[in-house]
Amino acid sequence: MWVQTVKMAWFSNVRKDVLAGITVALALIPEAIAFSILAGVDPMVGLYASFCIAVTISIVGGRRGMISAATGAMASLMGPIVAKYGIEYLFAATILTGILQ
């Protein structure tokens, strides 16, 4: 019985879901690059991070009408961390931020 419910929830709007995914992906590419430059890291780091966020949200689920991605506030906070401690601490700070949220 629960399999039927999952099928209806996941596969009821495949066309709309794919279109929404493409739209969000195209909107997030320049945002990820801009925020990674603001944070003082290579733009590829921002693109990889956005990809990881998208995969994680697709597995654990998101909220309707919410785009899960980097924000300007996070980028401006991560810049000093990267400048002082290097890129190694960026991952730890990101994980800690996710846990606290």
The Cα–Cα gap between 70 and 35 comes to 7
Q: What's the confidence (pLDDT) of residue 23?
A: 85
How many Cβ atoms are within 10 Å of 43's Cβ, its own excluded?
A: 14
* Domain coverage including residue 46: 2-100
pLDDT digits (tens, 9 = 90+) for 29-65: 888 888 888 888 888 988 888 888 777 777 777 666 6
Exposed e or buried b per residue across 50-76, where buried means at least 16 C-beta atoms within 10 angstroms of its C-beta: beebbeeeeeeeeeeeeeebbeeebbe
Confidence label for 69 from pLDDT (cuts 50, 70 and 90):
low
Q: What would the mean pLDDT of 13-34 be, rounded to a whole number?
A: 83
The total of structural domains in the chain comes to 1
Confidence label for 68 from pLDDT (cuts 50, 70 and 90):
low
Residue 76 reports pLDDT greater than 80: no
Which of 53, 57, 17 shows the shortest CA–CA distance to 35?
A: 53
Q: What does the chain come to in residues?
A: 101
